[in-house]
Structure formats: structure tokens, C-alpha cells
């Protein structure tokens, strides 16, 4: 079974253009290794799907949370459309199993990498939008993300690790954390960033990821855990 056919069956949607859906599953590493097997990778569909997902989630949150102001709605949306949030949605449909990855990317655990799953999910949303239209894509997305859309979580729990760390350091120390690139390795289509975050010239967290933003987020999460541990240990 072709990946597109298998995913269409998994989604239970009346997909008409399997070639378009198939393109949404092609990572650039696969095209790089197999230029004669596929015509294009999924990055153009990812660009379109990013806009589709943001509009659908914004509309759903606006309707579901009529008492929220703009800032709270923005925080709720950011939590859902973040790399981690979209990777969670991708996991619900087992998207990683259907992605076409290069051999190297697959060996490095690409099918489980949040950034790759998130970009693949956006490409999928873009393909479904072009094939089925906005309403069908909206209904599918809202159904998939219903737990996050309907959740009434406190605003503080919705903020990204970077935002939480910045608030922590500004409130306690009156300064912002500093992010520093330690290394950048790997080929162009499979970069790996390693980043440190410093507070008062001390390294308090380290993170890795396929993009600078993802690595900074991981470093901030590491720093928050370390700083929380210090707070607990203080008498």
C-alpha cells in the first residue's frame, strides 16, 4: 500500500488527490536521496498548511472561549500550533509511520522528531485544504484538536518555555536569559543545533534540535527544570 493510500484510510477522509497527499509526506531528505522517485518535497504545502492550521485554530478558540482577551487567545493558539503541539496532533494519526524520509533521517529517529512531525502535519493540512476545501479540513482539524481547543487551562501553563524563563529571570534578576549556539552539525537538510542558555553568565540549560528555535526551546525547558530544582533546595 502506498503511504498516501494508507494515510487516507487512516484518516477516514474522502481524499481525491492521492498524488497531492503523497507529496505532503515527502521530506526533503527523501527527495535528496531519491530525486527520480518523487517530483517535489512537502515544504510548499507546509507553507500553506501553516496558514490553514492557524486560521482554523484561531476561529475555533474565538468561538469556544468568548470571555478570553486577545492575549489569552494568542497564548492558547500558540500552545496548540507550537512544534510540540502539532507533533502531538501528528501522533494521534500516527503520521510518522507514513512519512517518506531519507535513510539517514530515518536512522536518526526522524519519525519521532517533533519538528519533523509538526512540519509534516502542516503539509498534510495544506494538501487536505487544496483537495477537500476549507470546511472539510476545518472540521477534521477541530475534531482532532478538540481536547486542546476546549481545555480551560490557566494562562501560565500555556506559555512556551522561553516565555516562562524570560519572565522568571526578569522578575527575579531584572534581566533576560542569553542563548548561545555551541555547535551546528549535519548536512543542510538535517541540521542539528546545540544551544546553551545563560543566566547571569552561568549556563543553566542546554538543548538540541533541528532548528535554532527548537534547540532554544529545549534549552529553556532544561533551564526551567534546573532553576526549579534550585528553588526547592533552598531553605
CA dihedral for 162, 167, 172, 174, sign (positive or negative): positive
Widest distance between CA atoms in the chain: 65
Bridge partner residues of 192 (DSSP): 185
For residues 211 and 203, what is the distance between their CA atoms, to the nearest angstrom? 20
For residues 100 and 37, what is the distance between their CA atoms, to the nearest angstrom? 11
For residues 215 and 195, what is the distance between their CA atoms, to the nearest angstrom? 6
Of residues 122, 148, 196, 216, which has the active-site annotation?
A: 122
For residues 229 and 110, what is the distance between their CA atoms, to the nearest angstrom? 31
For residues 121 and 42, what is the distance between their CA atoms, to the nearest angstrom? 10
In the block, cell 484518516 appears at 11
Give 53: exposed, middle or buried? Use CB within 10 Å, 0-12, 13-18, 19+: buried
Of residues 17, 33, 43, 50, which has the active-site annotation?
A: 50
H/E run at residue 199:
strand 192-199
For residues 64 and 18, what is the distance between their CA atoms, to the nearest angstrom? 33
| 50 is a catalytic site residue | yes
H/E run at residue 178:
strand 178-185
Catalytic (active-site) positions: 50, 122
Amino acid at each position: 500500500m502506498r503511504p498516501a493510500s494508507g494515510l487516507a484510510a487512516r484518516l477516514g477522509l474522502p481524499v481525491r488527490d492521492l498524488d497531492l497527499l503523497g507529496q505532503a509526506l515527502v521530506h526533503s531528505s527523501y527527495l535528496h536521496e531519491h530525486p527520480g522517485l518523487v517530483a517535489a518535497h512537502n515544504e510548499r504545502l507546509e507553507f500553506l498548511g501553516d496558514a490553514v492550521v492557524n486560521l482554523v485554530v484561531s476561529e475555533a478558540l474565538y468561538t469556544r472561549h468568548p470571555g478570553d482577551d486577545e492575549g489569552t487567545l494568542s497564548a492558547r493558539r500558540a500552545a496548540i500550533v507550537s512544534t510540540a503541539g502539532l507533533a502531538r496532533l501528528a501522533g494521534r494519526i500516527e503520521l510518522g509511520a507514513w512519512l517518506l524520509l531519507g535513510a539517514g533521517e530515518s536512522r536518526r529517529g526522524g519519525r519521532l522528531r517533533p519538528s519533523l512531525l509538526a512540519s509534516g502535519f502542516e503539509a498534510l493540512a495544506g494538501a487536505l485544504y487544496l483537495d477537500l476545501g476549507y470546511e472539510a479540513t476545518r472540521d477534521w482539524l477541530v475534531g482532532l484538536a478538540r481536547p486542546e481547543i476546549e481545555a480551560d487551562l490557566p494562562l501560565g501553563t500555556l506559555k512556551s518555555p522561553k516565555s516562562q524563563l524570560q519572565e522568571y529571570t526578569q522578575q527575579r534578576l531584572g534581566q533576560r536569559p542569553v542563548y548561545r549556539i555551541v555547535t551546528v552539525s549535519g548536512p543542510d537538510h538535517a541540521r542539528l543545533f546545540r544551544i546553551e542558555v545563560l543566566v547571569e553568565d552561568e549556563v543553566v540549560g542546554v538543548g538540541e534540535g533541528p532548528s535554532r528555535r527548537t534547540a532554544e526551546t529545549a534549552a529553556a525547558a532544561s533551564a526551567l527544570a534546573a532553576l526549579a530544582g534550585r528553588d526547592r533546595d533552598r531553605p
